[in-house]
Amino acid sequence: MEDDVAEEPDTPERISEAEHAVMEALWQRSPLTATEVCEQVCAPRGWSLATVKTLLSRLVAKQAVATEPDGKRFLYSPRIAREAYVGTESRRLVDRLFGGRAAPLFAHLAEADALSEDDIAEIEALLKALK
């Protein structure tokens, strides 16, 4: 199934918050059955196995998840690497909310006291490395 991750869709459809929870389970370990995904995500969210199966079906339709028959059940694996997803979503956020510029995003976070001292130090180190 690892080969499926290499076949990432060029521009996957948007993944909802609920679908993202399922993807996180699959990014941690895969392939998984629907029951195994449910063991990771159902209790904290109050979901049922049917909910997980619906979310998995949506993710398969969006080509974000691949399926493989395994007897009477299916095994699910991500087709989108987590890093690629984070990159796409980060770019969408900056484009949508900050006109494609990252500096206003950092300014907003700083003004909202959303950055810790460690965050600021890490950002400074990243900026120095880019110069």
Distance CA 131, CA 128 (A): 5
Q: Kindly state whether residue 30 falls inside one of the protein's structural domains.
A: yes
Overall number of domains in the chain: 1
Q: Kindly state whether residue 52 falls inside one of the protein's structural domains.
A: yes
Q: Kindly state whether residue 31 falls inside one of the protein's structural domains.
A: yes
Q: Kindly state whether residue 19 falls inside one of the protein's structural domains.
A: yes
Domain CATH code at residue 50: 1.10.10.10
The string over 18-49, giving b where at least 16 C-beta atoms fall within 10 Å of a residue's C-beta and e elsewhere, is bbbbbbebbbeebbbebebbbebbbeeeebee
Q: What is the pLDDT of residue 107?
A: 87
Q: Kindly state whether residue 17 falls inside one of the protein's structural domains.
A: yes
Coil, helix or strand for 32?
strand
Nearest to 26 by CA among 82, 109, 72: 82
Q: Kindly state whether residue 100 falls inside one of the protein's structural domains.
A: no
Q: What is the pLDDT of residue 24?
A: 97
Q: What is the pLDDT of residue 82?
A: 95
Name residues of the chain where pLDDT drops below 70: 1-12
Q: What is the pLDDT of residue 8?
A: 45
Nearest to 38 by CA among 51, 28, 20: 51
- Write the single-letter amino acid at 102: A
Q: What is the pLDDT of residue 49?
A: 97
Q: Kindly state whether residue 88 falls inside one of the protein's structural domains.
A: no
Q: Kindly state whether residue 37 falls inside one of the protein's structural domains.
A: yes
**pTM for the structure as a whole:** 0.77
Residue range(s) defining the domain that contains residue 53 = 2-82
Residue-wise pLDDT tens digits, 99-110: 999 888 888 888
Q: What is the pLDDT of residue 14?
A: 87
